[in-house]
Structure 1
Amino acid sequence: MIIQNKKIQYLRLNHFLSISGIASRRNADKLIKSGIVKINGKLVNKLGTYIHINDIVTVYGTRVKSQKKIYILINKPKGCITSTHDPLHRKTIMNLVTTQKIENQKIYPIGRLDYFTTGVLLLTNDGYITNIFTHPKYNIQKIYHVVLNKMITNEDINKIKNGKIYLKEGKVIIDYIKYLKYKNQLKIKMHIGWNKIIKRLFKKLHYKVIKLDRINFGGFTKNKLKRGKYKFLSQEKVYNMLKQHLYHL
């Protein structure tokens, strides 16, 4: 199944080899440079090469086929990191998934939520989908429930609304921000995917985020999914959801 948009039908060759289980992305680069990878019968040894999703890729003359696509929606709890492995032996998001149910295939989290942040996260082995969710040009929406250490002033709310806050990456532009029950609880929607953007935004205004929960990620919501629990999604559901949220491309 393909989202019919010319901009999102390509991915890097090393990424494709990685998600197909041939090698890590770094080792895939070594394979490419060694001259054993072909695209549609033509030798490719240039790093950074992109392939079309319908291209035929071979390694040592054998066609590389993608793994069975797996999509998992998880409601990430606090106290675990968004990674497949942690050298400090902290709990990772992978510890929450029953490995038998993914048939020992390699899946990876899309994007990141830090150790204390909760909420919607996707896991998959579909590099096509991962590219869409993580590449800045696709501007995937994210909606957060934010709890601050104190009431926020109307003046600071307006600064955020009017794009008056700058971080090292540039101007912070959001879609909307509004109060919830109390003035220290906010709902904020944005498409920016900068690292720890929410916490840095409010720190700039001298507030501390004491709770951060992502309630929507590219149209996917927790939808009564308890904290720490997950569910499998069909490829059709994932692709149809993205079709709805890529109207701006």
Structure 2
Amino acid sequence: MSRDDSKKGNKASGRQGGNFRKKSYARGNAPIKKNTSSKQFSDPDSIRLNKYVSNSGVCSRRDADIYIAAGSVTVNGKPITEMGYKVKLTDEVKFDGQLLNPVKKEYVLLNKPKDFTTSIRDEKGKRHVSGLISSASKSKLLPVDKLDKEDVGLLLFTNDGDLTKRLKSPINGLRKIFHLVLDKDLRSADLKKIQEGVLVDEKIVKVQDISYITDAPKREVGIEIYSSRGKIVQRLFEQLDYKIIKLDRVVYGGLTKKDLPRGHWRYLTEQEIINLKMIK
């Protein structure tokens, strides 16, 4: 891993100029990409049936028309085949007997800055990451996992409970890459210990890769790990008597910080969502 790569996000941020630095993170920044997926129903009382089915995540709106015409969709127990049929949000809509939820699932990636908490609790005087993505959706989006207040890097938000549950405890762990700054140089002997596996809470922690950052002091390292254990990276280094001064999560489950300056957010692409849903 190179030092230049690890600082790409900060360089991108710097190109925004003085105006970017003056913006308040508490109000949330503009998205990197515009996407109409965050729009809610224009009519609060009714919605076209094909959009209702599409929003539930069953299929695209075009495919929904096909299923509706085939009689696969029922409203309040009755098959509906009429194109353009509108339903109320209080109606019971089923697809092949399965009850649907019309709230569109949304996915937002934030490059978290320092000094923002991810705790669900309302801590007085604390700046919360939810404020940074407040303009992304009218739905309540929650972070899939946590980063400490001092930590920076990638944080995924969604209202997709199934995906959140899957990412929190995948069978083979979730791929994450961190750029770390330690309180002292990492001894080569300890680097080798980490490569071979370190015992933390009676379980061996194995990393996919660990290396010194190119052209940087030996207290800066990059580490790739597949794990869903809470604060496992911090606990790993504590076991070897090191303290992490800075933690930057640069890769999360295949998502990267590319073109995403610190403090900014973007919507996931359709392909990125598909890739995450393939994680078991």
Q: TM-score range by the shorter chain?
A: 0.5 to 0.7
* C-alpha distance in 2 between matches for 1:56 and 1:81: 42
Alignment of 1:77-226 (within 5 A): 77-99=113-135, 101-102=136-137, 104-163=138-197, 165-168=198-201, 170-180=203-213, 181-226=216-261
3-state SS, counterpart of residue 171 of structure 2: helix
Q: How far 1:106 moved relative to its partner?
A: 1.6
Q: How far 1:98 moved relative to its partner?
A: 2.8
- Identity of aligned pairs, percent? 35
Query: Closer, same or farther in 2 for the Cα pair 1:97/1:147, shift >3 Å?
Result: same
Q: How far 1:240 moved relative to its partner?
A: 3.3
* C-alpha distance in 1 between matches for 2:117 and 2:247: 14
* C-alpha distance in 2 between matches for 1:93 and 1:173: 30
* C-alpha distance in 1 between matches for 2:269 and 2:259: 18
3-state SS, counterpart of residue 231 of structure 1: strand
CA contact (8 A) 1:80 1:115 kept: yes
3-state SS, counterpart of residue 109 of structure 2: strand
Structure 1 moving runs of 4+ over 6 Å: none
- CA displacement, residues 71-127 of structure 1 (integer Å, 9 cap, x when unaligned): 10100111111145423341111010134x41x212110111111111011101112
* C-alpha distance in 2 between matches for 1:242 and 1:85: 28
* C-alpha distance in 2 between matches for 1:210 and 1:107: 29
Query: Closer, same or farther in 2 for the Cα pair 1:69/1:173, shift >3 Å?
Result: same
3-state SS, counterpart of residue 162 of structure 2: helix
* C-alpha distance in 2 between matches for 1:143 and 1:126: 24
Q: Name the count of aligned residue pairs.
A: 186
TM-score normalised by length of structure 1: 0.68
CA contact (8 A) 2:153 2:248 kept: yes
Query: Closer, same or farther in 2 for the Cα pair 1:106/1:138, shift >3 Å?
Result: farther
Residue 112 of structure 2 is aligned with which of 76, 79, 85? Answer: 76
3-state SS, counterpart of residue 213 of structure 1: strand
Query: Closer, same or farther in 2 for the Cα pair 1:169/1:80, shift >3 Å?
Result: farther
Could you tell me which runs of 5 or more consecutive residues in structure 1 were left unpaired when the two chains were aligned: 1-19, 21-40, 42-53, 58-62
- CA displacement, residues 162-187 of structure 1 (integer Å, 9 cap, x when unaligned): 11x21115111111110102211111
Q: Which amino acid in the other structure matches residue 78 of structure 1?
A: K
- The RMSD of aligned alpha carbons is 2.3
Could you tell me which runs of 5 or more consecutive residues in structure 2 were left unpaired when the two chains were aligned: 1-55, 57-76, 78-94
Query: Closer, same or farther in 2 for the Cα pair 1:174/1:214, shift >3 Å?
Result: same
Q: How far 1:242 moved relative to its partner?
A: 5.2
3-state SS, counterpart of residue 275 of structure 2: helix
* C-alpha distance in 2 between matches for 1:56 and 1:130: 25
Q: Which has the higher contact order (CA 8 A, sep 6+)?
A: 2
* C-alpha distance in 1 between matches for 2:193 and 2:106: 41
Alignment of 1:58-77 (within 5 A): 63-77=99-113
